[in-house]
Amino acid sequence: MEVLWAREDAGLRAATARDVSRALAGDRDLAHTTVMTVLDRLAKKDFLKRERDGRAWRYQPVASREGYITELMLGALNETGDRDAALAHFVRSVSRDEVDVIRQALADLTSGKGVAAGHTTTGKEPPA
C-alpha cells in the first residue's frame, strides 16, 4: 500500500505488479509472484482498484493513506466496550498541538466545511 500511496502522492499513474516489485526490491527479497498475489487479494477485498493495461493489471488504492488510517482508528474504536471512555482517554493522551488540530477539525465539522473532507472509506476491514 505504501508504494501505491507514494506513487499517487508523486502524481504517477496506477502501478503494475512489476512497478511494485521494483519499488520493493531494495527493501525486501520478494518474489514477483508474491507481489502479484498480494495485489490481487487486496483488489478482491476492494482495497485496490485495478484495470487492464495490455497483459498487465494496473492497481491504485481505493482510499487515501489518511482514509485508511481513519478506518483503522474507527475499527479499533468499534472494538472497545465503551467508545466514550476510549475517546476521552485518547484525547487526554495527545499533545497540545494535536488538541489544536482536533479542535480545528471539530470547528470545520460543525461549520459544515469538514463533513467528509479527507475521509474516504472503503466499508471494509483493513487488511492485516
Taking the C-alpha atoms of residue 45 and residue 49, their distance in angstroms, rounded to an integer, is 10
Average pLDDT over residues 15-43: 93
Average pLDDT over residues 103-123: 70
Report pTM.
Answer: 0.70
Burial of 4: CB neighbours in 10 Å, binned 0-12, 13-18, 19+: buried
- Per-domain residue ranges of the chain: 2-61, 65-111
Find, among 31, 27, 21, 116, the residue nearest to 59 by Cα.
21
Taking the C-alpha atoms of residue 99 and residue 117, their distance in angstroms, rounded to an integer, is 18
Helix or strand run (H / E) with residue 27: none
CB 48 within 8 A of CB 4: yes
2-61 CATH: 1.10.10.10
pLDDT band at 122 (very low <50, low <70, confident <90, very high): very low
